[in-house]
Amino acid sequence: MSNAIPIISYIDKALSKETRRTRNDYYKDFQLSIRVSPDGLSFNILDLERNRHLALVSYLLQEIPDFDELVKELNSIFNEHELLQRYYASTRVLLETPKSTLVPSALFEKSRVNDYLKFNHIINRREEAGYDQMNNLEAFNLYAIPIKLKEFFKTKFARFKMLHYLSPLIDLLLLLTKNQPATDKVYVNVRNNVFDLIYIDKGKLIFANSFSYRTPEDFAYFLLYSMEQLQLNPEEVQLILLGEIDKSSKLYEIIYRYIRHINFIRRNEFFKYSYVFDELPDWHFYNLLNLAQCEL
């Protein structure tokens, strides 16, 4: 029995009615973006010709002990969902793993990727090192890729590009702040029991890290402690939220007590959106929905 629980299914009727199955029909039309982690899978479909998002589907996975079991669950989802069985012009996979580290371009040597990664993380025999070259940052993001997971996607797609979750997020935020006023901005991307903190000052990345939390108090502590270490004043800094958080959540309620300027990131106007996205808050699934703009 599958542990996958569908939590979101926004699919444009025009897309769901499509019956074509050949590679030629789909090759030039659509892009598939996938986010995968031990606790879930989400995917998005973009109409490349119209630059319009047509679908967003998300599953929650429970009691997944390792990546071997994750692959079994993913295989069940792929077999059940017809949209994952079509051909696409391009496919990108966002991998959520805590085993990652940034290395400045000046120090990067391709032959030493494993060595760099092992400075900060334990890499086992079931993993291999991968890396993303950042466009708007003179650095490489190195990360561990579960070999079995990579092999799974090879069986599903003739071609795909795998990226670490933080690579396009950092790249996009640097791009967005490039021509904005020189104001300290702290971006907090909320995931399931994890949040990413990205601090950009005058268009430059100063800090990027991910924190695991169990309670709203944990969330507030790690956020405020990081701001203290970065010498940021909660009364002055601009905190911008994205991801799975809302004003009604306990996470928002607790940080609102301490931080004066809190905003949610706005939907990227570079894209158009199907009517099915009308009920989706602008900042939810922000990284996944903007992956197509990333040129990594």
pLDDT for 222 equals: 97
Do residues 63 and 187 both lie within one domain? no
Do residues 98 and 209 both lie within one domain? no
Q: Is the pLDDT of residue 229 over 90?
A: yes
Q: Is the pLDDT of residue 20 over 70?
A: no
Do residues 13 and 154 both lie within one domain? yes
Range with the poorest average pLDDT among 162-166, 173-177, 211-215, 242-246: 173-177
For the chain, what is the domain count?
A: 2
Say if 271 falls within a structural domain.
no
Say if 184 falls within a structural domain.
yes
State the DSSP H helix or E strand holding residue 35, giving kind and residue range, or none if neither: strand 30-37
* pLDDT over 90 percentage in the chain: 76
Strands 161-164 and 90-95: parallel
Q: What is the pLDDT of residues 115-129, one digit of tens each?
A: 999 988 999 999 999
DSSP code, position 277: G
Distance CA(166)–CA(196), nearest Å, equals 8
Distance CA(111)–CA(135), nearest Å, equals 21
Phi-psi region of 26 (alpha: psi -120 to 50; beta: other; left: phi over 0): alpha
For residue 259, what are the domain limits? 178-265
Average pLDDT, the chain: 91
Say if 276 falls within a structural domain.
no
State the pLDDT confidence band at 296, using cuts at 50, 70 and 90: confident
More confident call, 232 vs 25: 232
Do residues 225 and 78 both lie within one domain? no
- Domain termination residue (choose one: 116, 132, 164): 164
CB 162 within 8 A of CB 149: no
- Domain termination residue (choose one: 164, 191, 217): 164
CATH of the domain at 212: 3.30.420.260
Mean pLDDT of 273-278: 96
Q: What is the pLDDT of residues 49-101, one digit of tens each?
A: 999 999 999 999 987 778 888 999 999 999 999 899 888 989 999 999 999 99
- Domain termination residue (choose one: 135, 164, 193): 164
Of residues 53, 157, 167, the one with CA closest to residue 103: 167
Distance CA(291)–CA(177), nearest Å, equals 17
Do residues 191 and 89 both lie within one domain? no
* Token pair in block for residue 13: 């009727």
Do residues 121 and 216 both lie within one domain? no
Say if 132 falls within a structural domain.
yes
pTM: 0.92
Do residues 77 and 120 both lie within one domain? yes
Do residues 18 and 95 both lie within one domain? yes
